[in-house]
Structure 1
Amino acid sequence: MSIRGHVPLPMDGRDPSHLRGDPITGDRYFSAEFAQKEWDHMWTRIWHIAGRTADIPEAGDFLVHNFMKESVIAVRQEDGTVRAFYNSCGHRGMRMVHDSSSVEAFHCPYHGWKWGIDGVLRHAQDADVDFKAGNPCGKLKLKELRCDIWGGFVWYSMADDSPSLMDFLEPMPELYRNYPMDKAVRVAWYRIEINANWKFVTDNFSESYHTRTAHPQVPPWIDQDVDSARHEMWPKGHGRTVQPMRPSLTDRPEGGGNAMFEAELAKWDIDPASYASYEDFALQGWLDLKAAKQKLWREKGYLHYEHMDDEEITDSPHTVMFPNVTISFLPDNLILFRSEPHATDPEKCYFDLWCMAFPVEGQTEVQSIMAGMKPLREVAECEHRVFDGGRGVPELAGQIVYQDMELAEAMQAGMHSRGYTDAYLSDQETRIRFFHEVLNDWIEGRQGR
């Protein structure tokens, strides 16, 4: 049986009977020894996102992805494919490039060796006269990594024997096949250093139990009442919370009314004043919105709705892909969150925020959800910031991700306390412990083989 196409039925993400009960101890968040186990057994075997295919449209265009102490180049080939190589010159190991760009060949700044975009050595100084083993040109190659594409993203793996990308991501490619992900425009792009272990981010996005406390602006437009959402998880560690994009009946705006949902209904030619009660406004209005969108999407220029179903055009499947990538699949936006560990300090991480919008006919700016109103165009460069208690990203103040990052440092500090020995979780936080159990499986060799 499946919920769509060949997608296997998920496990109930609110059912603790699916768990072994592995404790979530504090040392997992600060131990250098545990961080080394993550590197040895998980990070070097999973698939990483190097960047977006939209950033490398032409042959010679390349992405640089630095992960801990490793660096990888993903470069567009003459035949349109993408290949990935370690960013390390085959002569003496020098890093050849530091930022994404475009080249005819990679030129090592130390001794001048040049490597083609296919990884083959093209030029070496004194190649014919000073190498007793013979001219290395045309023979030596940069060390290549496995590389694949899904969702408009370029992925790579450092392991030759780990699962294929489609196997690793299962069932996400099939589950989200209706979204034209490669057509989304990145309108905001941040990389923010925070004083917390990378796992705080995955933990945080694996539950919405914190929303009522941390994000009071959310319930008026996404129904996060405990019984409204579906909580789903799959054996490889991926999971999602599917929430209706309609007003919560528990957390109603003060003073009555709901300007945000009223505007959404009016945009699709529905009279928000036609409902007899707030319950009808939220519940029947949500159903009426589905029907109106299915009827009017082409007329109103929402061409990305063409293959999307009723749930996809009105709901929010907030999806965590093991171990560190989260994507919110909103009807008109894709928001990618990613956490990556600091190279030497397990109590720091980098938090990536990519806000992407589907182009709509006639729109020149979009509400990015996490970073405010933005022009509907590709941003040219990543904003590298240090959170610094919020002082490093003042323009994000009040946004959902800002509120999450505000919690991170205090949560990290709490992991050191002798008062904390394990999490006491609600049923809707089941996916947190499941994530840690799958991580344990990777570390102990039960996953990824």
Structure 2
Amino acid sequence: MTTFDTPRAAQKTQARSSGAVPQEVLATEAEYQVVPGVLRTEVPADFGTKDLPRERYLSADYHRLEVERMWSKVWQMACREEDIPNVGDALNYEIVDESIIVVRTGPDQFKGYVNSCLHRGTQLIRGKSSQNSFVCPFHGWSWNLDGSMKNLPCAWDFPQLDKAKLNLPEVKVDTWDGWVFINLHPESSSLDEYLGEILPAHFREMPLKTRFKAAHVQARVPANWKATMEAFIESYHVFITHPQIVNFTGDHNTQYDVFDRHSNRMITLIAVPSPSLGDSVDEQEVVDSFAEFLQTEAPDIPEGKTARDVAGEIHKETFQQIYGVDMSKMSNTELIDAIEYALFPNFIPWAGDGFPIVYRFRPDGDNHMSCIVDVMLMGMCPEGIDPPTAEIHWLDPAPGSDSPDWTQAPELGALGPILNQDMGNLSRVQRGLRASKKDVTFSAYQESRIRHFAHILDRYLADGSEGEA
């Protein structure tokens, strides 16, 4: 089921947009700011130009193969550590038919158990809970936090059972940078191996563990999880879908990097105009548009400063007051740029503070024509303060629509209208794919991250193994 040829390093002749190139801009700013070294790298990859089959978004058989050969074997982000801060705190993580209890069993210890009573299959928890044991609400069978059985009511009536052998089935659990991950496969590689070397190295310079979940909004979107995620890992769509930000967003000259078998990245410069606007927008107009987006006053650009310098100062002053932290040493790129990483299959953490977002995309239960989207905002926490965590805000569909209205989550701020524009395309995508008479076309460079993830997925579906990038 291989869609692409073996990837090869991007050729120097591979087409690029005109306009400000991220590495040239960062090199200039590094002369007067400390720019993280991990942002000064560029790793393009060429996955060819073949179309992808339509069936990957529409076929129930394709979906079942994903469940059998991919979802059952990958590491998946289940929650933040602070979502379950105390011993005994637990939550239910679900993926298709699987339901998993993720529980803190010690100050720095986490376990994962199949969320099903060993009597008649009843779920032991729903949502979040805090207790010193898991008790089935149907007949009272219960288990300790270590998974061992605690109580078997009327044990005299189950002569066939040995209580000592009735431990809850366990799944693998590990943590990275403040996130808790699970893996359903008992013989999977470790999380460290799965992450590879590059992603952890980059986030050591821009850690998420020191942040906190300031907002967490969740909604059902009427589109396949891949079609939905793919709308969020390229900037090609920005010029048409988000016209209100093109005066200060370098969309078509975004840098796309492919690191290894599971991770990639894009860097979109902010406070530069879209190259598709040509020379029609000057530096002051860039600042004015950026300030308007943030709903703040736009200062004049001082002599010797750039629009990016001023935008960085606007962001710094605004969010230092919100967070109560010192951001004086952060570079322009950390303060304002869209720096989006991705870990296969569905975990999308952003670095820096310009857009402190984390996305997650999952099938909607066993429905491959719908998905669940999580949008989180990661705030900065003053040193010495235990980070709070936002509870999930579930969005129902807007009246008369099959999609949610993301502006009904005010905690998302200016991101809400952006998400409405993105999500507004997706029901059209899913419906249009059903009507289409051709396979799906992607660009060679601007959609190379989509091609990369499709390439990884093909390897899983071919033989159930992780393979190489």
| Corresponding letter in the other structure for 1:219 | V
The correspondence for 2:97, drawn from 61, 64, 69, is 69
Q: Which runs of 5+ in 1 are unaligned?
A: 362-375
The structure with more helix, counted as a fraction of residues:
2
Structure 2 residue ranges without an equivalent (≥5): 1-34, 410-414
Q: 2:375 matched to which residue of 1? A: 353
Contact 2:95 2:362 survives alignment (8 Å): yes
Look up the match of 2:76. 48
Change (3 A) 1:304 1:163: farther
Distance 2:162 2:360 in 1: 43
Q: Distance in 2 between matches of 1:4 and 1:273?
A: 25
- 1:429: which partner in 2? 447
Moved more, 67-76 or 187-196: 187-196
Question: Does the residue aligned with 2:368 lie in a helix, a strand or coil?
Answer: coil
The correspondence for 2:268, drawn from 226, 243, 247, is 243
Q: Secondary structure at the match of 2:65?
A: helix
Q: Deviations over 1:144-167 (max 9, x none)?
A: 111011122111000122221122
Shift of residue 286, structure 1, vs aligned partner: 2.5
> Of the candidates 287, 308, 329, which is equivalent to residue 258 of structure 1?
287
Is residue 33 of structure 1 aligned with residue 55 of structure 2? no
The TM-score, its normalising length taken from structure 2, stands at 0.77
**Does structure 2 conserve the Cα–Cα contact (< 8 Å) formed by 1:85 and 1:145?**
yes
Give the whole-Å Cα distance in 1 for the aligned partners of 2:221 and 2:80.
24
Picking from 144, 163, 167, the partner of 2:170 is 144
2:427 corresponds to 1:395: no
Distance of 1:75 and 1:432 partners within structure 2: 33
Once the two structures are TM-superposed, the CA of residue 219 in structure 1 deviates from its matched residue by 2.9
| CA apart distance, 1:230 | 1.9
* Bigger Cα displacement from structure 2, 66-75 vs 414-423: 414-423
Q: How many residue pairs align between the two structures? A: 417
The sequence identity of aligned pairs, in percent, is 24
Matched, 1:341 2:369: no
Matched, 1:201 2:228: yes
Q: TM-score, normalized by length of structure 1?
A: 0.81
Contact 2:272-2:286 within 8 A present in 1 as well: no
**Separation (CA, whole Å) in 2 of partners of 1:12 and 1:72:** 37
Does the aligned pair in 2 maintain the 1:22–1:437 contact within 8 Å? no
Partner residue, 2:343: 321
Contact 1:52 1:152 in 2 (8 A): yes
Q: CA, structure 1 residues 352+445, in 2 after alignment: closer, same or farther (shift >3 Å)?
A: same
Matches within 5 A, 1:113-262: 113-127=141-155, 129-133=156-160, 135-136=162-163, 138-170=164-196, 171-224=198-251, 226-227=252-253, 229-248=254-273, 250=275, 251=277, 256=285, 258-259=287-288, 261=290
Cα distance change, pair 178–256 in 1 and its aligned pair in 2 (3 A): closer
Q: 1:51 corresponds to which letter in structure 2?
A: C
Q: What SS is found at the alignment partner of 2:223?
A: coil
Q: 1:239 to 1:134 in 2, by over 3 A?
A: closer
**Does the 8 A contact of 1:195 with 1:409 survive in 2?**
yes
Instruction: Give me the CA root mean square deviation.
Output: 3.8
* Alignment check: 8 A CA contact 1:190 1:385 kept: no
Q: Does 1:331 align with 2:363?
A: no
